[in-house]
Structure 1
Amino acid sequence: MIDSGKMHQSIRLLAIKPYKLSNHLRNITSYSTDNHHSHSARPDENIVYLGLGSNVGDRLRNISNAINSLSHLNPSTRLLDSSFVYQSEPMYVSDQPDFLNAACKISTPLNPQELLKLIKIIEVDQGRKLQNVPRNGPRPIDIDILLYNSEIIKQENLIIPHIGILERQFVLDPLTDVARQTIHPGTQMTIGKLLADFKSNRPGDEEGVKKLYPIQGVGSRTLDLSTRTHLMSIVNCTPDSFSDGGDSLSLEDGIQNSLSHVRAGADILDIGGMSSRPGASLEVSVDTEIGRTVPLIRALREQHKLDCHISIDTFRAATAKAAIQAGATIVNDISGGDADEEMLSTVAKLDVPYILMHMRGNSRTMSTMTSYKTGDVVNEVRRELEHKVRRALSAGIKRWNLIIDPGFGFAKDLSGNCQLLNSLNSLQRSSVREPPNSQEGHSILEGFPLLVGLSRKKFLAQLLTPSSSASLPDPKDRLVPTIVASTIAICNGANLIRAHDTLVTKQVIQTVDGIRTFASPSSPSCD
C-alpha cells in the first residue's frame, strides 16, 4: 500500500514539476510488456483510457473532480474526451448503493506506474481508504487504467488492458463512448465490437446498467433527463425579444415571472439578456447583458431560495461566467461556441452543463443562410453539429455536460424547419447505411440529450397563413401550432422542451409522457 505522507509529497512534486516525475519516481520498477511494444508517440503523447466509478457521496461530482485533478496535479496531462454517465448495480458486494460509472481519454507524459501513483493520490485525496476496507466495498472514487497506448502490461500491481473490459458492461459502455474504434490489444477487436458481442451474449441488460442524463448544480435539485421529458421556461430580460420583449425587463417583473413559471411546473428557467430574434441588435454590451440577468439570478437564489435550475441564455463567455457565479447552473449558447472563442474553454473550467445549438451566422445574417448544399437539411445540420460537438469535447467539456439543440428558426426556412422536425429522430443517427452490427457510420451525436425550442416560432405561423402576402398571427397567438409541434418533437426524441407558455406545455409533456408510459411494448407509439 502507498504511504499517505509520501503521497502528499508527490502531490506537490506533481503540481510543480510535471516533467521531472520520472526522476522522482525512479524507485518504481520500470514497467514491462509481454510483447515489448515500443511507443510510437513522443513521451508526452501517451494515449490512455481510464474508467471511473463512485457510489458514496456526490457521485457525479466525485467523478468530475477526479478527472479535473489529473491535469491539476500534472498540468501536462490533458483531457481529450469523456463518456456519458452510467448507473450500475454493485457487483460482488450487493449491500451497497448503486455506482455511477464513466470513462475518459487522456494524453499524458506519465508512464504507467507514474500514472498509477497519481491515480492513487487522487483516490486518497477524495476520501478513499486503501487499507483495512472490504474489497469491492463502497468507495467515493475508483479509477482504473483500462488501456495505455496499445501496450499489454502484466505486473503484480498493474494489468493492462484491464480485465474488466471483457467482463463488465459498466466498463464497456462508457469506454465505447470514447474508444469505439480503438483496438483492444489482447483480442484485436474494437471496443465497440466487444460491447456489441457482450450485449448479444447477455440479453436483457442483466447487469442493470443504465445511461443517465444528470443535471446538477449548487443550490438546485438534481434532474435526470432520461426519466421523463423536462421543461425549460423562457425569461427574456430584454426590451426587444420577438414574443415577450419587456415582460421581464425590470427586476421585480423578472422575479415574479420566474416564480410564476416555477409554480406552473418549470424544471429549468432560461434567463437571457439579449434578443436573438432575426434582425435583433448586436450592439448590446456585455455589461448591459450582465446587468439585465445577473441581479435576477442572484435575487432568485439569495432572496427567494429558488432550487430550480437556471440557465443563462448567452453566447458570451464573460456573461456565462458572471451568471454561473451568481447562481446559474447551465449555459445555453445559441452559437454553439462560434460567437466567442473563449466560451468553450470557459464552460470547461466552470464544469457545468452546456446547451450547444446549431445556427449559422448571427441574428442579422442567419435569415440569408438557409440554403443547404445537398438539399438534405437533416444531414447538413447533423454534420455541422458533429463539428461543434467535437470542438466542445476537445476543449474539455465533459460529454455528460453536453445537450444539443438543432436550432429551429435559426438559419432554416419553412421547408427546412419542417423537414428537421419531421425527421428529428434521425438527427443523431449516421447518414451512412452500414450492414447490421457494423461499428462504422456511427454519429458522434448519438446518445446526447436533445433540447427543442419551437415556442411561437415564425415557421409555425407560416403554416397557418394561406399566402405569403398575408400577415402572420401574433407570436402570442401561436399556442396551438406550438403544442402540436412540441408533441411531434417529444415523440421524435426530445428530452427537453423550451417554451414560453409553461402551464400548457407542462400539460402537453405530462400527457405525451403518460400515454407512452402506459403503452405496452407491442403497441404502436409515436416513436
Structure 2
Amino acid sequence: MQRQICALMSSAVEPLQAAQNFARTSWLTYSKAVPGMRWLRVLSQFARSYSTEGHQMHAVKDVVVAIGANQGQRYQNFILALDLLQDRQCQVARYSRLYETAPAYVTDQDPFLNAAVLLRTYLPPEALLRTLKDVEAELGRKVKAKRWGPRPIDLDIIFYHGEAFSSSALQVPHPRWHERSFVLAPLADLLSHDELDTSAFSMRGATARSATQPFSYVNKQDLDKQCAALFDELQDSYSRQAARLKGQSQFLQDLREQFLQQQPTEGSISSNGNAESSDELAKRSSQLLSHAAPAILLQQVLSAMDKDDMSQQAGTAAESPAAVFEEMSEPEGKYMRACDSSYWRPSSIGTFGRQGHQQSQGDVDIQCVLPLGDESAWAWEGRSHVMGILNITPDSFSDGGQYTSSHKAVEQARRLVAEGATMLDVGGQSTRPHALYIEPDEELRRVLPVIRALVEDDVLRATTPKVLISIDTFHAKVAAGAIEAGAHIVNDVSGGSLDPDMYSVVAKLGVPYIIMHMRGNPRTMQYSKHITYRDICAEVAGEVNERVQDAVAAGIKPWMIITDPGIGFSKTAQGCLELMAGLQRFRQELQPPLQKMPILAGPSRKRFLGNIIGSQTNEAKDRATAVAASVCVANSADIIRAHNAAAVRDALDVADAIRASMTPPSVYLHGYLSDTAR
C-alpha cells in the first residue's frame, strides 16, 4: 500500500487533483493504515510537498477567509461564492457556524449573514485577493460601492498561513480582525477544531517544516517524531515568550497548566514503535494536536508584540495586539465575550427583520443561526426548544390514529404551540420497534395535506417567533415533497442510511438536516448486535461523525446539521440512561463545528421511562419525560422532541434558568480549554 501511495504522489503534477483522485479510490484503506490521522490531513500534507511549477517544493497555504452578505439572497450568495472558489484552486477544508449580525459602522442597512472558512490554496496572497474580488464581482458586488455599506457578498482574507503580508491592496493579518465580533465568533469555531492544522495561524517552525519536508509515507515512527517535535517546539516557544508576561495574566497561567498537562511522559511516545499500541498512539496524537490550536494562537499573538513594542515607541495610538491579548484574559472583556457563545445568546428568540432592525432581540447584535431555505434564519441559541410531535400515523406507539385528519392535526398543532412548542415534527411513518414500512407515496399522501394546512393556518402564521415545521422521514422523495409544501427542516431518524438519495436531495433543498443515530432499521434496530456498545457516548458520536462526513461530501454544509443521539433507537434502557447522562461527552466527541451546533434529544414517553416509574400510561410517562428532558438540557441538549409540550416546557424553563446561572470558568475561549460553561 505504501509503494502505491508513493508512486501516485511522485507522479503527481497537480497536487489537489491527485489528492482528490486518491481520496476517491483509497482513503478508507489508507486511513486504517495511519492511526490517529484523518485522510484529509494526510492528503493536505502530501499536497504541500508539490507544486505545478516543475515539481518544485511549494506549500499549499491554509487561509482563513471571512464571508458576509446582506443583499439579495444572502445564503444563496454564500453557497455560490464557495462553489466559485472551489473552481478557482481554493478547497474549503473547514467551516464555521453561521451568524446573523447587526450591521457595523454603517447601521442603516439590513442585517448581515456572516461565517468563516478555512481554505487550502497555493495562490499567493495578492493572487488570492484578485480571485476573491472576481467572485465578488461575479455575484454582483460593485467595485466603488459605499464603504461598509450593503453588499451581496464580502470576502476578506483574515489570516494567510500565519504569515504577515503588506501591500497597497492587502494587509494580512486583517488589521481589524480583533475588533469585530462577526469575525471573532466564526474564527473561534475554526480554532476549536480538534485536528486543526496549525499552519494557518503559526508564525514560526510549524509553517517552515510543513513547507520543506517532502511527503513519502506516514507510519507510527513518523507520527511519534512529528508529535514529539511539535510538542518540543511549542513548549520551548511558550517558555521563552511567556516569561515576558509573567504575572500579568491569570490566562497565561491557566493555559500553561492546560498545555503542560499534555506533555508525554518519558517512553510514552517513542520512535522504536514499542511504547504504545497504535490505538494508544492515535488517542495521544489526537490529544497533542487538539491542544496545539490555542498554543499556536497564543504564539501568534505574542510574536506580534514585538511589532507592537515598536509601534508604541513610535507613538502609535491604535489598539495593539498586546492590549487585545490582555483584554482576552479578562472573563468580562469584550474579546472573551465575543468568543463565548453565552455572550450573544439572546434573552428572547426570534429572527432579525430585513429592514435593518432587530425584532424581539433586545441588545443582541450577533447570534448563531440556521438558514431555513426561504432567506429567513432561525436564531436557535438562548433557550432550549420544544419540538412538538405530530404523528399522522395509525400505528405510532402512543398517539397512533389520533391526528390523521388535517383538521385534528391543526388543532393539536395549535395546542402544542400554545403550550410552548416552537417546532412541529410531522411524521407519516411510524418508527416504533418492528414497525412496518409504507411506500413513500403513501407517506406523502398522509403528510402533505397536514403540512399545507399548518402553513396556511392563520393562528400559527401569526405566532411569534415563527413556528418551524420539520418532516420526520427517511425517504428523500418525502423530504423533497414536504419542503416544497412549506416545511423548513428534514428530520431523518436513519441519518441518511436508509435512502441513498437523501443527502444529495437535502443538499439541493438547502434546509437544516437532523441526523439521528440508529443502527439497522426500525424492524431490526433492537437486535443484539445493534444494541451492544463498549462506550456508548463515544461510539454513537463516532458513528454520527461518519454520517456527517458522508453528508458533507454530498454537499450538505456542516452549519446546517443538527445531531440527535437517538435515545430509544438501537439502545437498551441502560444505554439510554448512560447516553442522557453523557450528552456532554457526546457533544465533545462530535466533529467541529457540530460541537457547537444544536443537539436534539427525544426521550418522550419511551418505554424505559415507564419501566422506571412502574407505569406505562401517557400521563405518568409525561411526568417522567419532563425530568428526562431537564437532564438532557442540563447536559447540553438544545431541542427536546415531546408529545406533551406543556409539561416539558415548564421543566425546560427551570433547566434553562439553572444553566444560565452557572458560573463560566475564568478561561474559556469558546471550547478551546473547557466545555463546562455550556
What is the TM-score when the length of structure 2 is the normalising length? 0.60
For residue 417 of structure 1, what is the amino acid of its counterpart? C
Alignment of 1:279-290 (within 5 A): 279-282=434-437, 284-290=438-444
* Helix, strand or coil at the partner of 2:370: strand
How far the C-alpha of 1:259 sits from its partner, in A, is 2.2
- The aligned residue for residue 447 of structure 2 is 293
Counterpart position of 1:173: 188
Compared CA separation, residues 166 and 261, structure 1 to 2 (3 A): closer
CA contact (8 A) 1:286 1:319 kept: yes
Q: 1:388 to 1:218 in 2, by over 3 A?
A: closer
Secondary structure (helix, strand or coil) at the match of 1:338 reads: coil
Amino acid at match of 2:74: N
Measured in 2, the distance between the counterparts of 1:150 and 1:526 equals: 29
Which string of whole-angstrom CA distances, capped at 9 and with x for unpartnered residues, describes residues 412-447 of structure 1? Answer: 00111111111212212249xxxxxxxxxx766421
What is the CA distance between 1:375 and its match in structure 2? 2.1
Q: Deviations over 1:262-282 (max 9, x none)?
A: 222210100011011100002
How big is the shift at 1:392? 2.2
**What does residue 345 of structure 1 align with?**
504
CA contact (8 A) 2:81 2:139 kept: no
Q: Given residue 291 of structure 1, which amino acid in structure 2 is its aligned partner?
A: R
Picking from 584, 595, 603, the partner of 1:454 is 603
Matched, 1:273 2:428: yes
State the partner residue of 2:657.
Answer: 514
**Inter-partner Cα distance in structure 2 for 1:271 and 1:94:** 40
Match of 1:235 in 2: 390
| Partner in structure 2 of residue 437 of structure 1 | none
CA distance in 2, matches of 1:46, 1:459: 53
Select which of 77, 96, 101 maps to 2:114.
101
Alpha-carbon separation, structure 1, partners of 2:505 and 2:63: 24
Q: What secondary structure, in the 3-state scheme, does the structure 2 residue paired with 1:352 have?
A: coil
2:80 alignment counterpart: 68
Contact 2:392 2:427 in 1 (8 A): yes
Q: 1:143 to 1:121 in 2, by over 3 A?
A: same
Q: Does the Cα contact within 8 Å between 1:154 and 1:160 map onto a contact in 2?
A: yes
Is residue 2:68 matched to residue 1:54?
Answer: yes
Match of 2:645 in 1: 502
Q: Distance in 2 between matches of 1:400 and 1:161?
A: 25
444 and 137 in structure 1: CA distance in 2 versus 1, 3 angstrom threshold: closer
Deviations 1:21-53 (A, max 9, x none): xxxxxxxxxxxxxxxx9872679x977655234
Counterpart of 1:101 in structure 2: which amino acid?
A: N
Q: State which of 413, 427, 430 in structure 2 corresponds to 1:258.
A: 413
The 5 Å alignment of 1:74-223 reads: 81-86=94-99, 100-105=113-118, 116-117=129-130, 119-124=132-137, 128-131=141-144, 133-134=146-147, 136-137=148-149, 139-146=151-158, 156-158=168-170, 169-170=184-185, 172-176=187-191, 180-184=196-200, 187-188=203-204, 193-195=295-297, 201=326, 202=328, 203=330, 204-207=332-335, 209=338, 211=341, 212-217=367-372, 222-223=377-378
Q: Counterpart of 2:595 in structure 1: which amino acid?
A: E
CA contact (8 A) 1:172 1:191 kept: no
Partner Cα distance (2:431, 2:662) in 1: 39
Are the equivalent residues in 1 in contact too, given 2:97–2:593 (CA < 8 A)? no
Whether the 8 Å CA contact 1:54–1:141 is kept in 2: the answer is yes
- Partner of residue 490 from structure 1, selected from 628, 633, 636: 633
Name the CA distance, whole Å, in 2 between partners of 1:64 and 1:220: 8
Provide the C-alpha distance between the structure 2 equivalents of 1:266 and 1:476, rounded to a whole number of angstroms.
18
Paired letter, 1:66? F
In structure 2, C-alpha distance between the alignment counterparts of 1:392 and 1:232, rounded to whole Å: 23
Is the deviation greater in 171-180 or in 267-276? Answer: 171-180
Aligned AA (1:244) = D
Displacement of 1:145: 4.0
Q: Unpaired segments of 5 or more residues in structure 1?
A: 1-18, 20-36, 432-441, 466-471
8 Å contact 1:225–1:496 — kept in the other structure? no
- Greater helix proportion: 2
The yes-or-no answer on 1:328 pairing with 2:487 is: yes
Relative to its length, the structure with more strand (as a share) is 1
1:347 and 1:166 map into 2 onto residues whose CA distance is 36
Instruction: State how far apart, in whole Å, the 1-side matches of 2:606 and 2:298 are.
Output: 41
Q: Deviations over 1:474-525 (max 9, x none)?
A: 3454112111111111111111111000122222222322344466779xx9
Q: CA RMSD in A?
A: 3.9
In structure 2, the partner of 1:24 is none
Q: Compared with structure 1, are the counterparts of its residues 520 and 146 closer, same or farther at alpha carbon in structure 2 (3 Å cutoff)?
A: closer
Contact 1:238 1:274 (8 Å CA) reproduced: yes
Unaligned runs of 5+ in 2: 1-16, 18-46, 54-58, 207-291, 302-323, 342-366, 666-675
Shift in Å at residue 85 of structure 1? 2.4
Query: Cα distance 1:220–1:88, how it changes in 2: closer, same or farther (>3 A)?
Result: closer
Moved more, 328-337 or 390-399: 390-399
Instruction: State the shift of 1:110 in Å.
Output: 8.2
Query: Does the 8 Å contact 2:561/2:594 carry over to 1?
Result: no
* Whole-angstrom distance in 1 between the partners of 2:325 and 2:127: 37
Q: Deviations over 1:369-424 (max 9, x none)?
A: 46666622112112112212222223222222111111000000011111111121
| 113-122 vs 270-279, which moves further | 113-122
Per the alignment, residue 40 of structure 1 pairs with 50
CA distance in 2, matches of 1:485, 1:163: 48
